[in-house]
Amino acid sequence: MNARRPRERPAGRPSLAGVEWTVDVGPVAHGGHCVARHEGQVIFVRHALPGERVVARVTEGRIGDRFVRADAVEVLTASPHRVVPPCPYAAARVCGGCDFQHATLPYQRELKAAVVREQLARLAGLDVDPEVQPVPGDEDGLRWRTRVEFAVNRSGRAGLRGHRSRHIVPVDDCLIATRGVVGSGVLDTDWSGCTAVDVVDAAHPDEPVLVPLPVPPGADRAGGLVGERVSDGAWEVEYVVAARGFWQVHPGAATTFLSRVVALLAPGPGDRVLDLYAGAGLFTVRLADLIEPDGHVLGVEGDARAVADGVRNTDDRANVEWRTNRVERELASLVAQGISADLVVLDPPRTGAGPAVMADLAALQPRRVVYVACDPAALARDVQAAGAHGYRLAHVEAWDAFPMTHHVECIAVLEPGP
């Protein structure tokens, strides 16, 4: 078989960067921009809202491209949902961390709901209309990010990168970061010799943890351990997580998602549960308690550091087993052994689980799969793949765990059936 040759761009096509067009803005699209057109050219416009008329300045693209990217640099007709961004860095050609600070918070959630609806319709052929619900713990959409990686410029100043850029914007504050992150002194410190610095504002220790990158020789590359407290009614556990390990960044997300996953999964005593992409065991710990005395939880995670944290978090629960492996490899092995599962929790990275994982999941014949998705397009592709193996989307809900950005978290339920 001949290797596929990469598509070559025609040489000499003029760049459109810097060109300005007056356009009428169309619907929101996945990725934090809206769609507009100028003389047939598709434009993805940031800092605009549906229904507006704006001057769009092209930032990327050449004549003949399928689409170009642009920023709205002047608003001629404003949306009634437009507001002045609370952060001075949330503007064209400045910080790229926030996408929707120029919209009211309720309208941001309407835009995210439209994206979830469009992705599931276009990629999975489904007609759903979930409401994007707020996650408790932020301040009107601000001060929620408990884990931030700041880039460091050549002068040793910490800052944030521009949109689709390596350019570092020094900042005096980040309004979506928690007060603990900003109060850590990270923005006032000379970080010369570093390329970045991670700041973690966890429940324990009381002071934020700062991890310079690259990690100094002899230091813990994980940046040490921090405690992340999850409380759900009468149930409370403090998880141990590597400072640079994965954990939900919104202070209310872990509790919210744990509560919803457990409610939707409905585990009971004796159930055999798979927790895939299990991380440090957010779901594993609670599931182990709910399926006692005869149930069993298998946590599968490819990151050895996260598995070490997960083992530590479940070391007093005899009905938990951990395996350090790529999920697709572990599932293929389980299928080959003829093993089945009653319930599955699926919490993949932004790229999704993929067709092979969804096929093997179906082969295990669980009565229910609860899928936690941080990307609606990946969710839609995986739902479509599951449908080819007899699993349908029984329920989907959406949560605003990343206010001011285009990101949205979905929780979906897959069950066998037509």
Residues marked as catalytic: 374
Q: What is the 3-state secondary structure (H, E, C) of 173-185?
A: CCCCECHHHHCCC
CA 5/CA 28 separation, integer angstroms: 34
| Beta carbons within 10 angstroms of residue 72's beta carbon | 24
Dihedral (Cα; 110, 354, 373, 162), 10-degree rounding = -70
- Tokens found for residue 60: 């990327």
Task: Please give the distance of CA 145 from its chain centroid, rounded to a whole number.
Answer: 12
Q: Helices 327-336 & 355-363, crossing angle to 10 degrees?
A: 30
Strand pairing report for 132-134 and 168-170: unpaired
- Tokens found for residue 350: 């932004």
Say if residue 206 is exposed, middle or buried (CB neighbours under 10 Å; 0-12, 13-18, 19+). exposed
CA 152/CA 166 separation, integer angstroms: 11
| Beta carbons within 10 angstroms of residue 330's beta carbon | 20
CA 384/CA 391 separation, integer angstroms: 9
- Tokens found for residue 324: 């350090």
Q: Which residues, 6 or more positions from 128, have their beta carbon under 8 angstroms from its beta carbon?
A: 116, 117, 120, 121, 393, 396
CA 271/CA 107 separation, integer angstroms: 41
- The string of DSSP letters for 252-276 reads THHHHHHHHHHHHH---TT-EEEEE
Task: Count CA atoms closer than 13 A to 76's CA, side-chain side.
Answer: 9
User: Which of 223, 226, 186 lies closest to 205, judged by CA?
Assistant: 226
Q: Which residues, 6 or more positions from 372, have their beta carbon under 8 angstroms from its beta carbon?
A: 257, 261, 345, 346, 347, 409, 410, 411
User: Which of 47, 48, 79, 72 lies closest to 58, judged by CA?
Assistant: 72
